[in-house]
Amino acid sequence: MPRRLSAVLAVLSLAMTALHTDTAPPIPVQIFSLTDLHGYLSETENLTIAGPSGTEQVGGAAYLKAHLDQLRKPNSFLIGSGDQFSGWPDYTQAFANEPTIEVLNAFGMDFDVAGNHEFDREFPFLRRMQTGACYGKPGFDSCFKDSTGRNFHGTDYAYHAANIVDPRTKRPVLPPYWIAQAGSQRIGFIGLGFPGTPTETLSIDGSGFEFQGVVDAANRAAAALKAQGVNAIVVSMHEGGQQGGLYDECKSPTGPIFDAARALSPDIDVILGGHWHTAFNCMIPDPNGVPRPVLEASNHGRVLGEVNLSIDPATGDVIRSATTATNHAVTKDLTPDPKIQQIVKYWMDKWTARQAQPLTKLDRDLDFATTTESRTGNLVADLYKAEADGDFALVPADLGVDVIAAGLKAGTVTYGEAWPVAGISPITTLSMKGATVEAVLEQQWIPPAYGCSRLSALATSANFGYTYDLGRPVGDRIDPAKVLINGKPLQPDKTYRVTTSAAMPLHGAQYGYPGFQQYTQLTRAPKMGQEVFLNYLRTHPLLKAPSLGRVTAIPGTPPPVDGPFGPLNLLPQSEMTATATSQGSPTNSATAAIDGNCTTMWHSNWSPHAPLPQYITLDLKAPRAIEALVYTPRQDADVPNGRISSYDVQTSLDGITFRSATTGSWDGSVDAKIARLPAATTARYVRLIGLAGGADYAAATELNIALAPGS
């Protein structure tokens, strides 16, 4: 071959090689998003979600795995946004959340974030979930045999959080990010925990860690990844938001994740969220104006998020214009994964068997009451004090399942019978002045003006007793001289160590006990209430129920109280019924607004978000002459969502034609509000319409109707 021709061919060969390199196809990367599973593994949970064609039956770990397998492509990653374990199904909680980890390992989970519930038992528990370490009594508290007969070995993946920092070292306590290989390039995944974790009731933090904001922490981690040559970056955070559409839509999005999305570094290509138990699929411009997906995939395994990326093989950059995202409902119209079904059945069967196991023999009934002293309350208070070693214990008996929820019958007590008695609330001890302790005792009764009622509801340890006088007005029923600690009167100026549920120091005002939030030096006991209770029964095969007599009531009739609105003739709530345009859950139904209980409320729907206006309608059963509507907003001082700030009160005689009777605005406080109606207003139906409210929701703890004088 002539040398000249050979040279020409060589040049052409090099040119073709260069052309081939320049036109190499993008690298496809598929990212699945899973968040807030909370151990909901069973197909029988009866979960639903609103879809384009109506309500869809969804959920179940076996169906979730089937959807994963059907959708999976090369370079696929399953990325969590926190709160996968630690939740409420008995069949996972009773086995230290180990069933959830076995399922997630079988899913092939690649990465997860430390959400607030990963701190339910504080940081050492999260560590043991990764390492497989035992705690308590193996086989009773932890370290159960899994469905293969293998000992619990922890996660096959790691937990991440760039924003949870040890203030002593100034370094993250968990890996801030993970770098994975995608074809010839790499992709970085940044984890971000929930900044509000230290003030979540179950996750109340005793670690001393600093939970930083998500934006600065994510931007630092992104810069670190870029410095290592990683140009494709995904953020997964346990923080979210809401929108007004269906699970794969993005209508009027609001919330912290969207605020963060507009500020996060343009180097970040995808933002996955959680915590809010909502679903959305949005494209939000980064600070340079280039859209990127911001996605949350609901909760309890209802939805599986999917993001598809194209990565430039030469630079490793994400080709943003080629990015797509979809939220998939985890429907039940395909064959469930048999391996996952077998794992879930194993743990469900194990839970059924465990419920029948005897724990102790009880000499007499452990009665339970939310309004008076009870033997169950006394026992739980004694166990709280013993676990935390405070000066005494004051435990709320009317908060429900997280603290105390039931009693026990005499005779043999099984694990299943004992399981719901004491809840999973953390045990905390606070430093409080004696005068504050007296104020807390007075707060067991709510002033009548709120439209709610409550009697004595604090269980006390055996070394604490007191007397109250029902003939005295609310706020003046306790004589400090008749509050005895180890037989000695309460001293107003002395500081005491008071043991109670974590709900009290964090959200006491919500439950009518603002005094519990006046404390110093909070410490958290290592064990939770339920764990302490079950182990006490296990280690006391013959159990004697504690006696009564710690609380003494002096009967009487208190003097009448007009309240802040003057004398009102309130129609008994039992003579009304209530309906509403939407509700967030069965416990947030309209009837919760007329139950006389200031710890319950009606709340408009949040998943999907039902935007305002929303309304609640009272049926008075007969035409009534009405003076006013009294509105008690939600009482959790730290959560303004749903407090109605702009309203329209409408009335009707037939329930069909409504006319506006009065409009106005209220402040955002927890105090009761009033909407006075024009004189001579007569109606059978009264409708409160929330035109504006906290976070675009409407809520009501209580509603009362004041009848016209003389009615």
With bands split at pLDDT 50, 70 and 90, how would you rate the model's confidence at 9?
Answer: very low
CA 10 – CA 2 distance, rounded (Å): 12
In the predicted model, what is the mean pLDDT of residues 42-60?
94
pLDDT reading at 225 higher than 90 = yes
Least confident of 40-54, 59-73, 437-451, 464-478: 437-451
pLDDT reading at 20 higher than 70 = no
With bands split at pLDDT 50, 70 and 90, how would you rate the model's confidence at 422?
Answer: very high
The predicted pLDDT at position 19 comes to: 42
Alpha carbon 64 to chain centroid, angstroms:
22
* Span 123-132, pLDDT tens digits: 999 999 999 9
In the predicted model, what is the mean pLDDT of residues 302-317?
98
pTM of the model: 0.87
In the predicted model, what is the mean pLDDT of residues 45-61?
94
Please name the fold of domain 24-349.
Purple Acid Phosphatase; chain A, domain 2 (3.60.21)
CA 459 – CA 380 distance, rounded (Å): 8
The predicted pLDDT at position 260 comes to: 98
pLDDT reading at 17 higher than 70 = no
Contact 682, 591 (CB under 8 A): no
Alpha carbon 81 to chain centroid, angstroms:
14
Least confident of 4-8, 92-96, 125-129, 700-704: 4-8
The residue ranges of every structural domain in the chain are: 24-349, 357-554, 569-707
pLDDT reading at 4 higher than 60 = no
* Span 582-616, pLDDT tens digits: 999 899 999 999 998 888 899 999 877 888 999 99
The predicted pLDDT at position 8 comes to: 40
CATH code assigned to 357-554: 3.90.780.10
Contact 161, 189 (CB under 8 A): no
Contact 219, 287 (CB under 8 A): no
Report residue 680: phi and psi, to 5°. Answer: 70, 20
- The CATH architecture assigned to 569-707 reads Sandwich (2.60)
The predicted pLDDT at position 581 comes to: 97
What percent of the chain stands above pLDDT 70?
96
